[in-house]
A and B are shown apart, each in its own frame.
Chain A
Amino acid sequence: MDTQASDARPVLEGPDIARVLTRIAHEIVERAKGADDVVLLGIPTRGVFLARRLADKLEEITARKIPVGSLDITMYRDDLRMHPPRALARTEIPGDGIDGRLVVLVDDVLFSGRTIRAALDALNDIGRPRAVQLAVLVDRGHRELPIRADYVGKNLPTSLRETVKVHLVEEDGRDTVLLGVKPTQ
């Protein structure tokens, strides 16, 4: 899945990622008319780090505390029975909950859309947000479900033979988005 093939080339570097997140933060404030009731929920693993970075940017812009949490979707996946059980990640809903708030889901790569479908199901069991929006760092296309992102860092047209891998300082030691080719078996 995540190939480290030597021909993987960076499509976004550290400064690009920072600029993209700043832009998305401004878009959220603009669309949500001040982001009063925004709750950011990152999807583990890297979505959580992106959500925290977005929250920092939003706090800079609005000078208000932005609730940020994480939403693990493992138990809601539709492919659970096709793999051995996966380790669970943390679901952390901010203290005031999500009822009546604008929830912005944050993930690194938008691909088939199945992760987001699972996230919507998971949200359903946690509360009833006023609205749900989606922010992603990279949209690589090839949707298998009618799902789209509200905020996109970079649209990256890819073929199914390619891989997109996001590296973040918090997890991988550096910020970069790599476009590689799936090793042929």
Chain B
Amino acid sequence: MQRHLISAADLTRDDAVQILDTAEEMARVADRPIKKLPTLRGRTIVNLFFEDSTRTRISFEAAEKRLSADVINFTAKGSSVSKGESLKDTAQTLEAMGVDAVVIRHGASGAPYRLANSGWIDAVVINAGDGTHQHPTQSLLDAFTMRRRLVGRDAGIGQDLSGKRITLVGDVLHSRVARSNVDLLHTLGAEVTLVAPPTLLPVGIETWPCEVSYDLDATLPKSDAVMMLRVQRERMNAAFFPTEREYSRRYGLDGDRMAKMPEHAIVMHPGPMVRGMEITAEVADSERCTAIEQVANGVSIRMAVLYLLLGGNQPAVTHTRVEEK
């Protein structure tokens, strides 16, 4: 595996399967009376969140604490960033404190890459979502959920998702989740179809390793998993569709549409859900919707990623400050 986790596209099939297998063992820790492992004792991890987040931040924090790491939480609000401090200065402040890993969420695409490759810090960088670019741990937890549901908990060990038909529906243009998922699912051998109004598909979509459709009803019967994406109004500065009502009638998932899916197929949502927009309450609360399961799986996946990046001597012991002593 590479030293940092910046993009789902950087993962090979074997890397990804190893992360999923490790997460399967990590998941068992949640069933224990003492949900803690000593593995990352003495490692310091900073959660650097320049953008709002509930699930991802809490999930990373839970994973770090279950592995006994020391956790420092940083949010842009209430920090010197609001006084005008740059990413570089913030990063060097953390470096001076001897941080082993930085989990970063940033509104600008490429911020984690910059942090990892600028030479500002030695720490391992884990991307927790950057702009409209990537959200690799989300795609890993989605793949983990799919493998568990579509292949099986034990049967899935060592397996990828080859031949599984996955449909992603909605605001692909602004979705880092969609980008990461297309990359990772393709690596894992799944067949991915994107369904969205033409205005919500990015330029260059034809180069992505996936199919594109504008017709949700035609795609649903051929899907093993359907992932609904949130319409990201906070990133929209223009009218991408006439009305919300029209959007939800053409691209929203309701009970009637869900009935068209194969019996075994699951409905996924990375959260936060906007009920009544891309998904109806009926679907969101149904047995087939894995949104809550995805959150639980997120902790296991993040434990696996942290263990594989920080658990051994590569890269953490190459930390210059450690070697000086």
User: How many angstroms between the C-alpha atoms of A121 and B39 in the bound complex?
Assistant: 12
A84 near B22: Cβ-Cβ < 8 Å = no
User: How many angstroms between the C-alpha atoms of A89 and B26 in the bound complex?
Assistant: 10
Q: Is A130's beta carbon under 8 Å from chain B?
A: no
- Partner of B316 from the list A72, A81, A90 (CB cut-off 8 Å) is A81
| Residues 43-71 of chain B, each 1 if its beta carbon lies under 8 Å from chain A, else 0 | 00000000000000000000000000000
B196 CB to closest chain A CB, in angstroms? Answer: 38
User: Which residue of chain B lies nearest to A125 when distances are taken between CB atoms in the complex?
Assistant: B34
- Partner of A89 from the list B25, B33, B308, B314 (CB cut-off 8 Å) is B25
Q: Is B204's beta carbon under 8 Å from chain A?
A: no
A86 CB to closest chain B CB, in angstroms? Answer: 7
User: Which residue of chain B lies nearest to A121 when distances are taken between CB atoms in the complex?
Assistant: B38
B312 near A81: Cβ-Cβ < 8 Å = yes
A interface residue count range (under 10 / 10 to 19 / 20 to 34 / 35 or more):
10 to 19
User: How many angstroms between the C-alpha atoms of A82 and B317 in the bound complex?
Assistant: 8
A87 CB to closest chain B CB, in angstroms? Answer: 7
A179 CB to closest chain B CB, in angstroms? Answer: 30
- Partner of B38 from the list A76, A84, A91 (CB cut-off 8 Å) is A76
Q: Is A146's beta carbon under 8 Å from chain B?
A: no
B45 CB to closest chain A CB, in angstroms? Answer: 15
B39 near A80: Cβ-Cβ < 8 Å = yes
Q: Is B325's beta carbon under 8 Å from chain A?
A: no
Chain B: interface residue total (CB-CB under 8 A):
22
User: Which residue of chain A lies nearest to B38 when distances are taken between CB atoms in the complex?
Assistant: A76
CB within 8 Å of B: which A64-84 residues = 72, 75-76, 80-84
Q: Is B72's beta carbon under 8 Å from chain A?
A: no
For residue A85, which residues in chain B have a CB less than 8 angstroms away from its CB? 307-309, 311-312, 314
For residue A63, which residues in chain B have a CB less than 8 angstroms away from its CB? none
Q: Is A1's beta carbon under 8 Å from chain B?
A: no
For residue B274, which residues in chain A have a CB less than 8 angstroms away from its CB? none
CB within 8 Å of B: which A109-156 residues = 121, 125-127
CB within 8 Å of A: which B92-120 residues = none
- Partner of B312 from the list A80, A89, A91, A127 (CB cut-off 8 Å) is A80
User: How many angstroms between the C-alpha atoms of A81 and B38 in the bound complex?
Assistant: 12
Q: Is B292's beta carbon under 8 Å from chain A?
A: no
User: How many angstroms between the C-alpha atoms of A127 and B18 in the bound complex?
Assistant: 29
User: Which residue of chain A lies nearest to B308 when distances are taken between CB atoms in the complex?
Assistant: A85
- Partner of A91 from the list B22, B25, B313 (CB cut-off 8 Å) is B25
Q: A91-B28, A126-B33 are in contact. Are A83 and B312 (CB under 8 A)?
A: yes
Q: A75-B39, A91-B28 are in contact. Are A83 and B33 (CB under 8 A)?
A: no
User: Which residue of chain B lies nearest to A127 when distances are taken between CB atoms in the complex?
Assistant: B33
User: How many angstroms between the C-alpha atoms of A72 and B307 in the bound complex?
Assistant: 15
B324 CB to closest chain A CB, in angstroms? Answer: 16
B317 near A81: Cβ-Cβ < 8 Å = yes
B32 near A126: Cβ-Cβ < 8 Å = yes
For residue A90, which residues in chain B have a CB less than 8 angstroms away from its CB? 25
Q: Is B30's beta carbon under 8 Å from chain A?
A: no
User: How many angstroms between the C-alpha atoms of A121 and B36 in the bound complex?
Assistant: 12
User: How many angstroms between the C-alpha atoms of A85 and B307 in the bound complex?
Assistant: 7
Q: Is B191's beta carbon under 8 Å from chain A?
A: no
User: Which residue of chain B lies nearest to A124 when distances are taken between CB atoms in the complex?
Assistant: B34
Q: Is A160's beta carbon under 8 Å from chain B?
A: no
B25 near A72: Cβ-Cβ < 8 Å = yes
User: How many angstroms between the C-alpha atoms of A27 and B307 in the bound complex?
Assistant: 40
User: How many angstroms between the C-alpha atoms of A76 and B32 in the bound complex?
Assistant: 15
A115 CB to closest chain B CB, in angstroms? Answer: 15
A77 CB to closest chain B CB, in angstroms? Answer: 9
B313 near A82: Cβ-Cβ < 8 Å = yes
Q: Is B21's beta carbon under 8 Å from chain A?
A: yes
Q: A82-B313, A83-B312, A127-B33 are in contact. Are A88 and B22 (CB under 8 A)?
A: yes
User: Which residue of chain B lies nearest to A128 when distances are taken between CB atoms in the complex?
Assistant: B33
Q: Is B37's beta carbon under 8 Å from chain A?
A: yes
A124 CB to closest chain B CB, in angstroms? Answer: 8
12 more A-B contacts (CB under 8 A) besides A86-B312, A126-B33?
A: A75-B39, A76-B38, A76-B39, A82-B313, A85-B311, A88-B21, A88-B25, A88-B26, A89-B25, A91-B28, A121-B38, A126-B34
A–B complex contacts, Cβ < 8 Å, 20 sampled: A72-B25, A75-B37, A75-B38, A75-B311, A76-B38, A80-B39, A81-B313, A82-B313, A83-B312, A84-B312, A84-B313, A85-B309, A85-B312, A86-B312, A87-B18, A88-B21, A89-B25, A91-B28, A121-B38, A126-B33
Residues of chain A having any CB pair with chain B under 8 Å = 72, 75-76, 80-91, 121, 125-127
